[in-house]
Structure 1
Amino acid sequence: MAVGTPGLPEGIAMEKFCYPSHMIEKRPDECYDIYRSILLVTGDPRSLVMIDKGTDSIVFLDEDSKRVFKVKRLDATKFLSNEGYVLLNIGYSSPLKIAPKVYAFNKYVVVMEYVEGTKFESLPELGLSQNELKRILCRIIRKAMLLDELMVNHGQLSRAYRHIIIRTNDHEPIFIDFGDSTITRKPQNLTSVWSFLHNKGLLRVISEEIDSLDFARSLKKKEETAIKALKEHCVSC
């Protein structure tokens, strides 16, 4: 049975924001901190609807403001502040729109813009022309390059089908899920994206030249010729 939570408007249940619910009694202080964090941003969280559930967090959409609330699971050991800092850094530093804009964050909650679109795994359903598909793939490669330049390693782009959203209004690819990201001198975003697109048979849409294993070896070694070739093929996207 849902239990009203002290400090929340009447009718708001503890189980809505603390997951899994059997952990509430074990971590009541963490529950309260999560609620306070949400209340500071929304004032009234009744408009929040759960839209996703992961191993470390649950995700809510505020249907009024169209903002996303990523909330730490009670049984997770990983806090969310790192993801907030990374998103903030990308937003300030990148000339391209790589990731959702972050509005507020602490170790329990990250509040960011809602990106309406289709996950990469559903790309065929969009019925894109060859030129539109090439533009999207080139934009993904350019953004992976930029992340490398920012020394941010996403950590999940070898399985990019779940971590890239194709925005509805302009088909712009937006990278999401920076929970495993790190700041490092040797980021692997470009090589991860190349491997993913190669395995999906999509690189040939851009150019046969960049779809060979020899090219992959050059790219992995950060050889200038490979980087230059990618830039030349994707510069106009």
Structure 2
Amino acid sequence: MKTLLRVPIEELKNDPYASVICYPRKKPSELNERISELIKHGITSVDFIGKNAAFNIPILGKGYVGIVIKAYIKNKVVAVKIRRVDADRKELKHEAKMLLLANSVQVGPKFYDASKNCLVMEFINGNFLPFWLNLYYNKRIVKKVLKEIIAQCYRLDKLGVDHGELSKAPKHIIININLQPFLIDFETASIKRVVSNVTSICQFLFLGYGEVGKKVFKIIGIRERDKIINALRKYKSEKSNSNFLGIIQTCLS
């Protein structure tokens, strides 16, 4: 993971860092607003590190709504999502609200603080699911982690929060160094849609033909597609605990 030196908060007003903070177009007013918000949140410095990049500067993540950087509140490590200047939404408060709701059922990185352009949360030291599956071939460990992922999705279903992006789960699940999975990126989450977290993640993990589906198949062995489909249909019609356990039994037994 490529890294640069730690950058104090007062140096973020200078390029190339200023262009990252105001990705993808630097505007003096936007830059000042973002730096003021970071200071208000207690951010003292930033580590430009990660497998993604903005203007050739390493960062943790980059999406349609924002970029994610590693930062510090004194000696405490945090992750900060900073809204893109060209984002299709004017603030990050909705995502903050959804993350807080997810936290109430022990899902997602811990929420710390939020403002118009910044979301401060727990830094997850780990790997995205596809890369993690390349590291672990132990069937018992993989099954345990997948079970916890599905369990987190079930808790969201019961809460009434639909993540909305679990059909593209490679970028939305991180496994930390203690083998704990985290669902991330609640920017499109909603309490107004019909929840489909469990069905979406199971279709992705056990019925998909993509990279992750093939890896899961290779590690845990063949699954009976018809039985999985029937279990998911049953759960979709009634999101009960017994139907949830039926999915676990069918997919991971």
Give the TM interval when normalised to the shorter protein: 0.7 to 0.9
Which stretches of structure 1, 4 residues or longer, exceed 6 Å deviation after superposition?
A: none
For the residue of structure 1 that corresponds to 2:113, the secondary structure is: strand
The answer for the alignment partner of 1:4 in structure 2 is none
Aligned counterpart, 1:24: 27
Distance 1:185 1:15 in 2: 36
Asked if the contact 2:231/2:246 (under 8 Å) is kept, the reply is: no
User: Contact 1:207–1:233 (CA<8 Å) still a contact in 2?
Assistant: no
Q: Does 1:85 align with 2:94?
A: no
**2:191 pairs with 1:183:** yes
Instruction: Give the counterpart letter for 2:234 in structure 1.
Output: S
Instruction: Tell whether 2:80 aligns with 1:72.
Output: no
What does residue 124 of structure 2 align with?
Answer: 115
Give the SS at the match of 1:103: strand
Q: CA deviation at 1:231?
A: 5.6
Cα gap change, 1:87 to 1:231, in 2 (>3 Å): same
The equivalent of 2:235 in structure 1 is 219
Deviates more, 1:116-125 or 1:200-209: 200-209
**Cα offset, 1:55, TM superposition:** 1.6
Distance 1:213 1:10 in 2: 54
- TM-score normalised by the chain length of structure 2: 0.76
Report the number of matched residues: 220
Once the two structures are overlaid, the 10-residue window that deviates more, 30-39 or 141-150, is: 30-39
RMSD of aligned alpha carbons: 2.8
Q: Deviations over 1:177-214 (max 9, x none)?
A: 11111113621101101110121154794994685332
SS of alignment partner, residue 159 of structure 1:
helix
Unaligned runs of 5+ in 2: 1-8, 49-58
> Which residue in the other structure is 1:12 paired with?
13
* CA distance in 2 between partners of 1:159 and 1:216 (Å): 18
Structure 2 counterpart of 1:19, one-letter code:
Y
Verify: 1:192 aligned to 2:173, yes or no.
no
TM-score by length of 1: 0.81
Deviation at 1:39, TM superposition (A): 1.0
Cα deviation for residue 227 of structure 1 reads 2.6
| SS of equivalent residue, structure 1 residue 118 | strand
Q: CA deviation at 1:174?
A: 0.6
Q: 201-210 or 32-41: which moved more?
A: 201-210
1:216: Cα distance to partner? 3.0
The amino acid of 2:185's aligned partner reads: D
Tell me the CA shift for residue 88 of structure 1: 1.5
**Structure 1 vs Structure 2: percent identity of aligned residues?**
27
Letter in 1 for 2:19: E
Query: The residue matched to 2:67 in structure 1 has which SS?
Result: strand
| Higher strand proportion (structure 1 or 2) | 2
1:109 offset after TM fit, Å? 0.5
Distance across 2 between alignment mates of 1:216 and 1:234: 10
CA–CA distance in structure 2, aligned partners of residues 230 and 36 of structure 1: 48
Asked if the contact 1:90/1:98 (under 8 Å) is kept, the reply is: yes
Contact 1:138–1:206 (CA<8 Å) still a contact in 2?
A: no
